[in-house]
Amino acid sequence: MKKTLILLTSLLLVFSCGEKYPKDIPQWGRHENTDTTTVDPPADTTQTTADKPERTEIADYTDMVLLYGYGHHRSPIVWGTDYTDAYVVYKDKEGYAHWLFDSFLFLEFMDPATNGGAGVTFITGYSYNEERINKSATQEDWDKLAKYYFVRNTAVHAIDQSVEKAKAILGEPPHKRQIIVGIPEPITHANPYDNNSSTTYWGKVDGRTLDFNLPNDRVTAVKWYIDRVREEFYKQDYTNVELAGFYWVAEKSTHTSAIISDVGSYLKGMNYSFNWIPYFEAEGWNKWRDYGFTYAFMQPNTAWLSDSDYAVRGQTQMVKAINDVIAQNMGLEVEFDGNVIQGWGTRAGRLRDYMNAFKDYGAWEKSRLAYYQGSWAVKWLRDSSNALDKELYHEFCNWVITRPIRDSH
């Protein structure tokens, strides 16, 4: 199904808490942060052999929050526990602490040519500031992305540190926090918009140049990346997180249907989960089992409708999404961004509509959920001094931590 690109005007506001909040630019079913940064991700491509313990079973988790990072359009590009604390622990109105999200999806779609970025895309069809990114990410770009997630004091390590801090108050969590890492799409051509461009642009595995015109070579590249992530993860000394699985960043099956199941088989053989979040009625959404995904979550996408469209079809689209995924035994995605912040946007009501609909139609009680929150909307709500923002923050977090499905995992 054709995706709809919604363009919003980018603006920056400084709130009373003193932080600058970057607004998100919607990109099909997703939003991309347009802020800038001056910090480069690690460029070293040296590989070392690391012990990669085998998992004994596929991880089970119920509340997975999306955390974007790496692209040079983001700010900050390196973030520590001052950011991740807000996603690990919720402190209620009475001051009592609670574990919040149990799983964390690290992903990136692109690294635009701004502030030193490479000007590459990790997924077919994405643009930045309305301009196409005409260069597909290479093996070198994939390697830098894999290493970025494991830089000291940021990303995965920051989650590990936040959990360690919280243990002083809450004790050991029910289980280690689960880490899921996005897999770049092996885009067939060097220029995603030019079918005459090279298909041998990506790089080599075992001394052989891969040709992405061949499905098996695309799978080989993905397996290489999965192993690089595993290698980097198991080099670290984490005590509170575990590598639970991987995520397919392509939000429809159009360009990758021939290779997804092979990737799923590879991950299943090592007991890693394979996750997918297609946009509303995206091509292949109801074939998620056939593709080998462990968990799939649909984006209702009503958060991004115009006010006029929302009035006409927002409710019916939401109900259809919920009913469809429950019938397919899928999960759902909660969607919001900085537009829920008072004085910035007018979408706080949309988030409440999600929470109410998920409760009314059974998803809140029994479905696995993913949480798209733009860049750092949960943190921004927590840190805001606006009483309405604070109220929404407590409503949302209480909604998450009281879900009945959490008691069974």
pLDDT mean over 158-173: 97
What pTM value is reported for the model? 0.89
Domain range for 377 is 12-186+214-408
If one counts the domains in the chain, the total is 1
DSSP 68-79: E---TTSS-SS-
Residue 27 within a domain: yes
Residue 200 within a domain: no
Residue 351 within a domain: yes
Percent of the chain's residues with pLDDT above 90: 83
CB 397 within 8 A of CB 96: no
Question: pLDDT tens digits, residue range 33-58?
Answer: 333 332 333 334 333 334 567 799 99
- Is residue 145 scored above 60 in pLDDT? yes
d(CA 266, CA 216): 13
Structure tokens at 5: 């690109």
What residues does 178 pair with on adjacent strands?
A: 103, 242
CA distances from 130 to 25, 27, 399 (A): 10, 10, 36
DSSP state of 23: P
Residue 205 within a domain: no
| pLDDT value for 21 | 27
Neighbours of 75 (CB within 10 A): 18
What residues does 104 pair with on adjacent strands?
A: 65, 179
Residue 282 within a domain: yes
Half-sphere exposure of 408 (CA within 13 A, CB side): 8
Mean pLDDT (the chain, rounded): 88
| pLDDT value for 17 | 34
Residue 199 within a domain: no
CB 284 within 8 A of CB 278: yes
CATH number for the domain spanning 44: value is 3.20.20.70
Question: pLDDT tens digits, residue range 259-299?
Answer: 999 999 999 999 999 999 999 999 999 999 999 999 999 99
Phi and psi dihedrals of 209, rounded to 5?
A: -70, 125
Q: What angle do CA 163, 108, 158 make, to 5 degrees?
A: 20
CA distances from 350 to 44, 216, 277 (A): 43, 43, 20
Residue 209 within a domain: no
Residue 270 within a domain: yes
Question: pLDDT tens digits, residue range 78-111?
Answer: 999 999 999 999 999 999 999 999 999 999 999 9
